[in-house]
Amino acid sequence: MSSRKADATKTPTWQLVAVWTLVLVPMGWGVLETLAKAAQLFS
Partner 1 sequence: MAGFLDRERTVAGPGFNRWMVPPAALCIHLCIGQVYAFSVFNLPMTRLIGITESAPGDWKLTTLGWIFSISIVCLGLAAAFAGSWLERVGPRKAMLLSATCFGGGFLVSALGIWLHVIWLVYLGYGVLGGIGLGIGYISPVSTLIKWFPDRPGMATGMAIMGFGGGAMIGSPLAVGLMAFFSGPESVGVAPTFVTMGLIYFTFMTIGALLVRLPPEGWLPAGYQPPAESGKLITTAHVHVDEALKTPQFYLVWMVLFLNVSAGIGVLGQASAMSQEMMPGKIEAAAAAGFVGLLSIFNMAGRFIWASASDYLGRKNTYLVFFALGMALYAAVPPAAAMGSVVLYVLCYCVIMSMYGGGFATVPAYLKDLFGTMHVGAIHGRLLTAWAAAGVMGPVLINYIREFQIEAGVPKAQAYTVTMYIMVGLLFLGLICNALIRAVDSRHHHGEPDTGGSRS
Binding residues vs partner 1 (CB under 8 A): 1, 3-4, 6-11, 15-16, 19-20, 22-23, 26-27, 29-31, 33-35, 37-43
Min dist. Cβ of residue 6 to partner 1 (A): 7
| Other beta carbons within 10 Å of 34 | 10
Min dist. Cβ of residue 27 to partner 1 (A): 5
Dihedral angle sign, alpha carbons of residues 32, 38, 40, 43: negative
The residue type found at 41 is L
Min dist. Cβ of residue 3 to partner 1 (A): 7
